[in-house]
């Protein structure tokens, strides 16, 4: 195992001295949390940068999603994609609503509006959509469905910092949108997130929900949580905001190099092309199709053996997790695209300072996949057992390539 590991991502950190000058202010004021001065400045700077009306900072996006659902009074059934990070489903579960999984669009890998509509029942209260890898959902179709059926529409926009569509920020869609500032995202406050809202009253209600529901010293108006962002995290964000445009441009160069070498590789499909306006280059997911010599799982393992930590976001599928697999909507027959994606999609290492020689290590392995270290035997295909490290799917691929 090489010791120079290439991780799927690395956080973009602002220069230490930039953070320190903000921290000096925090230390001097001794306001370290509960919506202090740096928090206020960061919130205003973010609203301006993202070009959205109102921002409520949170300790992370998972709490942001829970509070968004809570604020809209979502109980009953919530329709959400089966293909997402665990936080999406867990947030619904934590607010006590009933999860209903929907399938995804095979091209964008974001939720399929037609399947959303099929799954609406008299108990449905909300659509909780995800712009997967910042690939925009069909926002118009989802807005129409929500309007016709009287449903709340919330976006888990965890991946979408600075992402745009033809009308502006992706974060403007829905009743509320939630973005993540986790260390693994395009823009980071180490841990953090924000809820984007459209009017001051909603913003203020969300601010209170982040602070136990406290209105003032003698009043509490809602069952809130402690979901506040501290001054330290806000300081990192304020310092990092000055560098995010450069980071996104550097990410673009990495994406372009992946695209140039992978676009013509048989069996590899790239989902996020480089020249798409408004893209934030959060991730570089590939689909490992059946005509590639290795299954996604085996390719992932071979990369890892060579120190390349690509990640299978999102495997396992949410609907196959032990706490959700018995739900009626988890029936695999109703989720063919989501199941396919969870088996075939892998995100390649991507961060602004990924060195070209490291990226070449990744590309060389994918363009010249390691040969199978076993030869197909005439009888081997009748047995379920495959040689160590391979799965039945690899066996079928070798069989097909020999046919
Ligand atoms: N909705 C969606 C659709 C999401 O994808 C997420 C989070 C959320 C909601 C919730 O957002 P937050 O509540 O987190 O704000 C990571 C992140 O923890 C998670 O934020 C993210 N999505 C998810 C896609 O990825 P893991 O379990 O894969 O993280 P981990 O620790 O394995 O890190 C991945 C790689 O990043 C490591 O191999 C190395 C590198 N890394 C990581 C950290 C934490 C660093 O270099 N430095 C670091 O500090 O979940």
CB 71 within 8 A of CB 223: no
CB 30 within 8 A of CB 55: no
pLDDT at 390: 63
pLDDT above 70 (res 212): yes
pLDDT at 382: 45
Average pLDDT, the chain: 93
Distance from residue 381's CA to the centre of ligand 1 (Å): 39
From 185, 228, 343, 344, active-site residue: 185
Place of tokens 């060389």: 364
Find the range with the poorest average confidence among 114-128, 154-168, 379-393.
379-393
CATH 3.90.1150.10 residue window(s) in the chain: 244-400
pLDDT above 70 (res 241): yes
Candidates 3.40.50.300, 3.40.50.2300, 3.40.50.1860, 3.40.640.10; CATH matching 16-241: 3.40.640.10
pLDDT above 90 (res 137): yes
**Percent of the chain at pLDDT above 70?**
91
pLDDT above 70 (res 94): yes
pLDDT band at 105 (very low <50, low <70, confident <90, very high): very high
pLDDT at 399: 57
CA end-to-end distance (rounded Å), the chain? 34
Instruction: Give the pLDDT mean for 294-312.
Output: 95
- Write the DSSP assignment of 156-190 as a string of letters: E-TT-TT-EETTEEGGGSSSEEEEE--TTSSS--S
| Calpha distance 19→73 (Å, rounded) | 38
pLDDT band at 2 (very low <50, low <70, confident <90, very high): low
Ligand 1 pocket test: pick from 67, 85, 135, 285 the residue with the most ligand atoms within 8 Å of its Cβ.
85
pLDDT band at 77 (very low <50, low <70, confident <90, very high): very high
The two three-digit tokens of residue 334, written as one number: 């109703």
Strand, helix or coil for residue 135: coil
pLDDT per residue over 8-27, tens digit each? 999 999 999 999 999 999 99
Task: Name residue 176's beta-bridge partners.
Answer: 154
| Calpha distance 329→240 (Å, rounded) | 41
CATH 3.40.640.10 residue window(s) in the chain: 16-241
Element (H, E) at 214: strand 214-216
If you take atom 21 of ligand 1, which residue's CA is the nearest one? 184
pLDDT above 60 (res 42): yes
Omega before residue 314 within 30° of 0, cis: yes
Q: What is the DSSP letter of 107?
A: T
Ligand 1 pocket test: pick from 184, 285, 313 the residue with the most ligand atoms within 8 Å of its Cβ.
184
For the stretch 193-211, what's the b/e string if a residue is b when 16 or more beta carbons lie within 10 angstroms of its beta carbon?
bbbbbeeeebbebbbbbbb
Atom nearest to 192 CA in ligand 1: 15
Instruction: Give the pLDDT mean for 129-157.
Output: 97
For the stretch 92-106, what's the b/e string if a residue is b when 16 or more beta carbons lie within 10 angstroms of its beta carbon?
bebbebbbbbbbbbe
Find the range with the poorest average confidence among 39-53, 129-143, 272-286, 303-317.
272-286
Alpha-carbon dihedral angle through residues 126, 342, 114, 102, given to the nearest 10 degrees? -30
If you take atom 45 of ligand 1, which residue's CA is the nearest one? 10
pLDDT above 90 (res 141): yes
Place of tokens 């609406």: 120
pLDDT at 403: 39
Ligand 1, pocket residues at CB < 6 Å:
7-11, 60-62, 84-85, 87-88, 130, 156, 158, 180, 182-184, 193, 309, 311, 313
CB 199 within 8 A of CB 223: no
φ, ψ for residue 13, nearest 5 deg: -110, 140
pLDDT per residue over 246-256, tens digit each? 999 999 999 99
pLDDT per residue over 329-381, tens digit each? 999 999 999 999 999 999 999 999 999 999 999 999 999 986 665 554 544 44
pLDDT at 273: 80
The two three-digit tokens of residue 201, written as one number: 């009253």
* 52 contact partners, CB below 8 Å, separation of at least 6: 169, 171, 172, 196
244-400 topology per CATH: 3.90.1150
**123 part of the active site:** no
Q: What is the DSSP letter of 332?
A: G
Alpha-carbon dihedral angle through residues 55, 159, 171, 236, given to the nearest 10 degrees? 30
pLDDT above 60 (res 400): no
Instruction: Give the pLDDT mean for 60-86.
Output: 97
């Amino acid at each position: 195992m090489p010791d120079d590991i290439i991780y799927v991502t690395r956080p973009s950190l602002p220069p230490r001295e930039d953070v320190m000058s903000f921290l000096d202010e925090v230390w001097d004021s001794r306001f370290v949390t509960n919506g202090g001065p740096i928090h206020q400045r960061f919130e205003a700077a973010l609203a301006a940068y993202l070009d959205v009306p109102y921002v409520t900072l949170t300790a992370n996006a998972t709490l942001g999603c829970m509070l968004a659902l809570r604020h809209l009074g979502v109980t009953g059934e919530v329709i959400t994609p089966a293909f997402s990070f665990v936080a999406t489903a867990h947030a619904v579960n934590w607010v006590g609503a009933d999860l209903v999984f929907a399938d995804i669009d095979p091209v964008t890998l974001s939720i399929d509006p037609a399947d959303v509509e099929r799954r609406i029942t008299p108990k449905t209260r909300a659509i909780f959509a995800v712009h997967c890898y910042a690939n925009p959902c069909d926002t118009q179709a989802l807005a129409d469905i929500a309007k016709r059926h009287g449903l709340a529409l919330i976006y888990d926009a965890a991946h979408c910092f600075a992402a745009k569509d033809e009308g502006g920020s992706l974060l403007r869609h829905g009743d509320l949108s939630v973005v993540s500032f986790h260390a693994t995202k395009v823009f980071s406050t180490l841990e953090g997130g924000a809820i984007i809202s459209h009017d001051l009253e909603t913003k203020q209600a969300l601010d209170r929900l982040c602070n136990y529901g406290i209105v003032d010293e003698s009043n509490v108006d809602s069952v809130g949580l402690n979901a506040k962002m501290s001054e330290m995290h806000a300081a990192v964000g304020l310092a990092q905001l000055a560098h995010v445009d450069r980071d996104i441009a550097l990410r673009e160069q990495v994406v372009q190099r992946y695209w140039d070498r992978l676009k013509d590789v048989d069996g590899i499909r790239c989902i996020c092309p480089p020249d798409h306006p408004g893209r934030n280059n959060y991730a570089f997911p590939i689909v490992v199709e059946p005509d590639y010599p290795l299954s996604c799982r085996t390719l992932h393992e071979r990369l890892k053996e060579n120190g390349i930590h690509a990640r299978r976001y999102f495997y396992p599928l949410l609907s196959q997790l032990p706490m959700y697999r018995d739900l009626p909507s988890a029936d695999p027959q109703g989720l063919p695209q989501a199941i396919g994606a969870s088996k075939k999609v892998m995100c390649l290492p991507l961060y602004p300072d990924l060195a070209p020689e490291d990226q070449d290590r990744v590309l060389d392995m994918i363009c010249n996949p390691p040969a199978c270290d076993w030869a197909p035997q005439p009888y081997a295909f009748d047995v379920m057992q495959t040689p160590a490290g391979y799965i039945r799917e690899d066996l079928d691929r070798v069989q097909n390539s020999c046919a």
